[in-house]
Structure 1
């Protein structure tokens, strides 16, 4: 009876991990749509900065004691913790909101689909995971799909990037940062549980982000007005898209591994495109379908077919 019980326990654990990742992708899909919806009303860095203020207010009562207990571990791994904090908190969400100032939520969501391929690249470059010829071809195919979306179907027309298309580049940089962060999660010190790790990255990333927020607020004079829209927006991105999503994602990565869990990223465009069509009235056009098809084909070639 021991073996069947062990198999059932493992299946339940895997199922729970995928549930966490599915919920995470729903929260993040909504984050992209909301970021685009309020792009004209809320400054991008301010939205990111206040997002983490709320996230820290929620998580710190549960993490403060644990942070104090592992302070020696935090200092010992300060370089690593600074890097993952900047990548996940300072860079990823801020770059997304900057990109959504000019890019559509649809473009941003489709570009996010390239995340698994980038995770594969970083896994090979940093940790020596073997990459087959088939995987290389899949990576190249997906990258062509990214180029098609970024250039709006005109890969050789660089002027597209100079006519408001730079928002796509912000999104692409955000995806690269997130892929690197996800791969580096395997190096997380064992002494740091998910709550403590998330709280630490939130605090450090928020501190790094603060000078840019002050520049936007005082120098650029882009001031966030705390009306109903702003409060609801900060509430959503601070609690659902930050606290719950990051805790769920980190736990899912821990249970399944970065390469396997990264396939859940494909759910973000599914959730997001549905929400964008409902709330923003955005529609997919030809270059979206072409780029998305190339990205998906590349991922199938690089990961799914290889495993089979």
Structure 2
């Protein structure tokens, strides 16, 4: 079978699973407290990967020990912040909003790279940042400037922006910190530190705010969250990078938003408003500009 066909099939197919995390964020929090949902999701995720990578992990224990501090930080960002925040968002905003706002993460990546690692921002990226900013505000304000004047915002939108920032930090540092470990064993260790970083907050939630009921709904949501937007999504994402490279694979973020909107409409009877379309256009066009290279970069 043609390599490009497989690659582009994966490009279209993978976001179906990645965006299913928005279903968990919107529907799962009705049955399982958000921090508990995140903790148990990453715990199951870790157990599955640990079983599959046990021998490699034992053989490379010294490398794991050497990289443990970095792995903990990546787990805190990638599993802790990006795990808890979307589930906190799900109780007070829509899937459509969450999907659009999450696509702002490439903008945070550009800014973090600029401020921490002095990466240059070209004119296209600067204009793209402005377009994305307008798009994000269009969604948060629901197209109504009075919400800004009255300071009335949905808390879930800000939780989702926090998740986008967390994913950006995770992505930048994952790239900056090279590892001697293979991808899935490294992901196993990151998920281990991820659920550990969530553990204290899970105890606080369970004993002081909302207890977790270990019923049928709990097991359904935890297994779904660990497998569909977890094991399957990460595996397909890795395969897509193998066939198409990281640059083209980055376009899964666009489809993530579109599939997320469909999930919201189909499963939760959400309605696409004009401000969603306006925000999406601005964000997508902004990301397109951010990904462009200036003439000087192309010549180099």
TM-score (norm 1): 0.85
* Structure 1 unaligned spans of 5+: 1-7
What residue in structure 1 maps to residue 277 of structure 2? 289
CA drift at 1:201:
0.7
| 2:217 counterpart of 1:217 | no
Q: 1:94 to 1:15 in 2, by over 3 A?
A: farther
What residue in structure 1 maps to residue 227 of structure 2? 239
CA-based RMSD of the aligned residues comes to 2.7
CA drift at 1:54:
1.5
| 2:237 counterpart of 1:249 | yes
CA drift at 1:291:
1.1
Moved more, 46-55 or 147-156: 147-156
CA drift at 1:290:
1.6
Distance in structure 2 (CA, Å) of the matches to 1:145 and 1:217 = 37
Distance in structure 2 (CA, Å) of the matches to 1:153 and 1:15 = 40
| 2:102 counterpart of 1:112 | yes
CA drift at 1:253:
5.3
* Counterpart pick for 2:254 among 258, 261, 266: 266
Q: 1:26 to 1:92 in 2, by over 3 A?
A: same
- Secondary structure at the aligned position of 2:29 is classed as coil
TM-score (norm 2): 0.88
| 2:162 counterpart of 1:168 | no
Q: Is the 8 A contact 1:194 1:247 kept in 2?
A: no
* Counterpart pick for 1:81 among 46, 64, 71: 71
* Counterpart pick for 1:228 among 187, 207, 216: 216
Q: Is the 8 A contact 1:152 1:160 kept in 2?
A: no
Q: 1:193 to 1:305 in 2, by over 3 A?
A: closer
| 2:166 counterpart of 1:177 | yes
- Secondary structure at the aligned position of 2:222 is classed as helix
The count of corresponding residues between Structure 1 and Structure 2 is: 296
* Greater than 6 Å deviation, 4+ residue runs: none
Q: Is the 8 A contact 2:29 2:37 kept in 1?
A: no
* Structure 2 unaligned spans of 5+: none
Q: Is the 8 A contact 2:103 2:257 kept in 1?
A: yes
